């Protein structure tokens, strides 16, 4: 496990998330938690869904093993690029043509006039998808060279573009603010593509793409087997990696039937939940996946499991600390980050309640992300897809059961219960014997002792905070 790679990746994600929170608190101050913030959350849902699916491992976890195994890597990579980019551009055109119908699917509880407004922003923001795919493709090639920082830091550019749009139009009518924000999303995507191209030229990755284009016409048939293997694994990988993102999508769909502001409560709480998940679980998983894939390809499974073991204990400590801290200080966190301007005290209380429910699922989701690497490195994307399918069915059941008594909190709790189910199923596929090798009694006892002391200290600090 290369600690430098983990820290560079984690540092980039942290930097990007800091600007993401600046964006969110600026948005909360300018828009508040109301129908307009709900409209933007719905319009941003699709591009953000695909950004997370592609950028947080789904593409690279199917591309990397195939790329490593491919004999003619340059031709293989370009063939994948052209086929997927073409499909994405067609999808983008379809969404633009049927933006009203798509908006109705995204938020069926919206009134007709609200859907008309939403559809304009859905059409604009979906053009972010082809841009983020190019970023993800170049990022995967950089990951093969074990260069992670550029992709990790690049999301900062998206957040900066959106912050600038908010600041420039903060005194404008709400509709105009959302319009500016939508173009800020596209501007951020263009900046991300530009920085990846610059770095790809610098590390001489772009010539891989250029060489592939030059030789594609004459030699595309020789990579047919590699390409077929990739696409056989690609769609299960996308599905297997997208459980959290699709649940977030379904949250929005179901919350559109709840009181105004519910979508925003889920959005802001989920943003807090995603920080430790991305900073620790996703950053570590992205950093060690190329190494694990290469070791599995070399039939060195014991070393790959040792890497997973180290990752498990690092993640368990970090995610447990984050969970305890966020639940104990949920009100204070939301107050500090968002309560200003149009975002009032009652909004803080509601978002904090939703955050508590989300944080219950942080540890199982984070650990599932780590152990799913074993499945992808061994080309078991179909098993990961099966786990995702069972998890989403479970989510649908618990969401429908809990939405009436708990409203937005029920949707967040349903997601956390699903995370526990997903973790159990992932470990079952990883293998009980492999898991026994990862977990040992002495470390478990040490972890339990440290966790108990840490939690008691947090509770004491919180009690003192409340009484100051």
- Of residues 227 and 182, more confidently modeled: 182
> In 330-357, which positions are buried (b, 16+ CB within 10 angstroms) versus exposed (e)?
bbebbbebbbeebbeeebbebbbbbbbb
The answer, yes or no, to whether residue 87 has pLDDT greater than 70, is yes
Q: With bands split at pLDDT 50, 70 and 90, how would you rate the model's confidence at 165?
A: very high
Q: With bands split at pLDDT 50, 70 and 90, how would you rate the model's confidence at 220?
A: low
The answer, yes or no, to whether residue 240 has pLDDT greater than 80, is no
Looking at 329-361, list the stretches that DSSP marks H as alpha helix, in order from N- to C-terminal side.
330-338, 345-359
Find, among 349, 33, 4, 330, the residue nearest to 148 by Cα: 4
- Looking at the 3D structure of the chain, how many domains does it have? 1
Q: What digits encode the pLDDT tens for the residues 431-467?
A: 888 888 888 767 777 777 787 787 788 778 777 765 4
Q: What digits encode the pLDDT tens for the residues 363-382?
A: 999 999 899 888 888 878 88
pLDDT more than 90, % of the chain: 31
Distance CA 60, CA 247 (A): 21
Domain boundaries, position 196:
3-467
Burial (CB count within 10 angstroms: exposed 0-12, middle 13-18, buried 19+), residue 206: middle
Task: Read off the pLDDT of each residue in 205-232 and give the average, rounded to a whole number.
Answer: 76
């Amino acid at each position: 496990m290369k600690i430098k790679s983990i820290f560079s990746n984690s540092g980039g994600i942290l930097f990007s998330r800091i600007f993401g929170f600046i964006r969110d608190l600026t948005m909360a101050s300018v828009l508040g938690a109301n129908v307009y913030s709900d409209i933007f959350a719905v319009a941003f849902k699709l591009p953000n869904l695909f950004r997370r699916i592609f950028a947080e491992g789904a593409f690279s976890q199917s591309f990397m093993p195939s790329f490593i195994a491919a004999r003619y890597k340059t031709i293989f990579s370009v063939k994948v690029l052209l086929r997927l980019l073409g499909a994405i551009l067609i999808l983008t055109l379809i969404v633009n043509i049927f933006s009203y119908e798509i908006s109705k699917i995204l938020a069926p509880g919206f009134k007709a006039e609200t859907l008309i407004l939403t559809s304009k922003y859905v059409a604009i923001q979906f053009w972010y998808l082809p841009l983020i795919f190019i970023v993800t493709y170049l990022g995967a090639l950089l990951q093969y060279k074990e260069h992670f920082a550029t992709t990790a830091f690049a999301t900062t550019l998206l957040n900066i573009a959106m912050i600038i749009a908010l600041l420039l139009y903060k005194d404008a009518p709400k509709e105009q603010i959302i319009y500016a924000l939508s173009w800020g999303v596209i501007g951020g995507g263009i900046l991300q593509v530009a920085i990846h191209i610059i770095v790809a030229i610098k590390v001489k990755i772009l010539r891989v793409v250029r060489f592939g284009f030059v030789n594609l016409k004459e030699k595309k048939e020789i990579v047919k087997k590699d390409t077929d293997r990739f696409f056989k694994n690609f769609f299960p990988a996308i599905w297997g990696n997208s459980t959290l993102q699709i649940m977030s999508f379904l949250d929005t769909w179901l919350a559109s039937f709840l009181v105004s502001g519910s979508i925003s409560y889920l959005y802001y709480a989920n943003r807090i939940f995603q920080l430790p998940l991305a900073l620790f679980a996703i950053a570590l998983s992205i950093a060690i996946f190329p190494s694990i894939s290469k070791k599995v390809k070399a039939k060195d499974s014991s070393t790959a499991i040792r890497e997973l073991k180290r990752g498990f204990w690092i993640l368990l400590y970090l995610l447990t600390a984050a969970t305890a801290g966020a639940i104990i200080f949920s009100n204070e966190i939301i107050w500090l980050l968002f309560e200003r301007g149009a975002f009032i005290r009652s909004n803080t209380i509601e978002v904090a309640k939703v955050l508590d429910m989300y944080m219950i699922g942080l540890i199982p989701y984070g650990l599932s992300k780590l152990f799913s690497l074993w499945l992808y490195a061994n080309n078991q994307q179909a098993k990961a897809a099966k786990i995702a399918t069972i998890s989403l069915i479970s989510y649908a059941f618990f969401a429908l059961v809990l939405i009436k008594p708990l409203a937005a909190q029920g949707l967040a709790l349903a997601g956390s219960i699903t995370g526990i189910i997903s973790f159990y199923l992932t470990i079952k596929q990883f293998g009980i014997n492999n898991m026994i090798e990862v977990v040992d009694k002495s470390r478990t006892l040490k972890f339990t002792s440290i966790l108990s002391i840490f939690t008691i200290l947090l509770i004491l600090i919180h009690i003192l905070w409340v009484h100051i």
